[in-house]
Amino acid sequence: MSKVKTSFFCQNCGTQYAKWQGQCNACKEWNTIAEEIIQKQDKVAWKSEPTPTSKAPKPLKINEIDSKQEVRMDTTDSELNRVLGGGLVPGSLTLLGGEPGIGKSTLLLQVSLKLPYKTLYVSGEESQKQIKMRAERITPNSDNCYILTETKTQNIFKQIETIEPEVVIIDSIQTLHTDYIESTAGSISQIRETTAELIKFAKESNIPVILIGHITKDGNIAGPKILEHMVDTVLQFEGDRNHIYRILRSLKNRFGSTSELGIYEMLGSGLREVSNPSEILISHKDEELSGTAIATTLEGMRPLMIEIQSLVSTAVYGTPQRSTTGYNAKRLNMILAVLEKRAGFRLGAKDVFLNVTGGISVDDPAIDLAVVAAILSSNEDIPVGKGFCFAGEVGLSGEIRPVNRVDQRIQEAEKLGFDTIFVSKYNKIALKNTGIKIELVAKIEDVASILFG
């Protein structure tokens, strides 16, 4: 038997050292370096033995490479397809991260039950009966979904050879272990080795693999940072467990855009795809109230209508409060300074509270104009008309600056039944004969005079 080999790894960033030291040179964290056994076994992973007929790859000229579009596998989930860039790419490795209880396992189990492909769902955290109970709650039985409770990669690969699935889902990568490494499951070396085996399997068999990953208290995916570099796609499942809405983002995608967004609603029967996000981001009320304004924003290729709420009141204490939810607090202070200096509104001695409804955070500068309208509406106690919406960035001199893809924003506002949209007069608008009135404004004073006379 070969001699036992050990090495030292930083538990925070995964950097390897020959001996122990107090501080990691890479991430500068203290007391994170631990010893792990890295003894190699005589067993082989997924078909790692070279076959006699295998040929070494040869370099090709770039104009000789076949550039045909890769055929993607439809997941039957429009939101997941959008975030992935059109569906699963054969042979790809996708990592899904998120907080405990957010719905990662529910999402992938729901997808695996609806997939028209033979799917192997491997769980190292739940028994087959537990998964069956959740599956009965989510959707009727499926003939294409196989459930396996196993944590050893060698046993998983044996079952894969027997079943021959078209999609493999692993829940979760931190529970897997391999005979190649003599250390506990979830350690740096185990995560790195099991991921490498799965990558080799995915690339050689052309079968897509989806991994679920735990996250740390800082919100980062647990394990070495190299895990995110090894996989093809990294998805983040976000949301507050006290709210019913969940957001799926792409942090890395070798096959598509990273600016796309998927929105789900958590119900007792599973996750519902929200095809029209504006329905959850705009509150429905019978009477007009001051301090609210509707903004048009973009998340990837998708336009959204969001509601901005503001409350302006006289400061009780000496120093006025500035509080925001879902909006940059420093940008709010900048807008208040512009209103004070350029437009003459006396807000320096007043409390200002700002909220983006729906529990989402927005950093699109195009919502500045709606923020201004909501603040002035609350200050004057005059409601903004129900049919008004806004798309404009506010500059430091009080001018309304143009925003990108304004035509798409106007079309979304028209589709949802708004009468008037306020945009910068410097925007180049290609749309003709629109059913919505386009109000071109140059300064904050122009907006205030139209809204409040």
The answer to whether 101 is annotated as binding is: yes
CA 211 from centroid of its chain's CA atoms: 15
Instruction: Note whether 339 and 256 are within 8 A (CB).
Output: no
Q: How far apart are CA 357 and CA 326, in angstroms?
A: 8
Q: Is 191 helix (H, G, I), strand (E, B) or coil?
A: helix
| Intra-chain end-to-end CA distance of the chain, in Å | 88
**Is 129 annotated to bind ligand?**
no
Take residue 60 and report the two structure tokens written for it: 């090709």
* pLDDT for the residue 39: 55
Q: How far apart are CA 21 and CA 424, in angstroms?
A: 58
- In this prediction, residue 225 carries a pLDDT of 74
- Among positive and negative, which fits the CA dihedral 204, 153, 248, 131? positive
Note the pLDDT of residue 223: 67
Phi-psi sector, 344: left (phi>0), alpha (psi -120 to 50), beta? left
The upper half-sphere exposure of residue 227, i.e. CA atoms within 13 Å in the direction of its Cβ, equals 33
387 is in an annotated binding site: no
Q: Could you give the angle at which helices 153-163 and 188-205 cross, rounded to 10 degrees? A: 20
Distance CA 450, CA 382 (A): 12
Three-state DSSP class for 303?
strand
Q: What pLDDT score does 433 carry?
A: 82
Going by C-beta distance under 8 Å and a sequence separation of 6 or more, which residues neighbour residue 443?
342, 343, 398, 399, 400
What's the confidence (pLDDT) of residue 53? 44
Judge whether 103 is annotated as a binding position: yes
User: Percentages helix, strand, coil for the chain, rounded to the nearest 5?
Assistant: 25, 25, 45
Q: How far is CA 32 from CA 13, 37, 184, 192, 193, in A?
A: 9, 16, 17, 17, 20
Residues whose CB is less than 8 angstroms from the CB of residue 158 and which lie 6 or more positions away in sequence, other chains included: none
Is 99 within any annotated ligand binding site?
A: yes
Per-residue confidence of the chain (453 residues) as pLDDT tens digits?
455 677 888 887 778 888 899 999 988 889 888 887 765 544 445 564 444 444 567 888 888 877 666 788 999 999 999 899 889 999 999 999 988 888 899 999 999 999 989 999 999 888 999 999 888 888 767 788 999 999 999 999 999 999 999 999 999 898 998 887 777 787 888 888 899 999 999 999 999 999 998 887 666 776 667 788 889 999 999 876 667 788 898 889 998 888 788 888 888 888 888 887 776 677 766 678 899 999 999 877 788 889 999 999 988 877 899 999 999 999 999 999 999 998 888 888 899 999 998 777 888 999 999 999 999 999 999 999 888 999 999 999 999 999 998 999 998 898 888 899 999 999 988 888 888 999 999 999 999 999 987
Burial class of residue 58, CB neighbours in 10 A (0-12, 13-18, 19+): exposed
pLDDT for residue 102: 87
Does the annotation list 260 as a binding residue? no
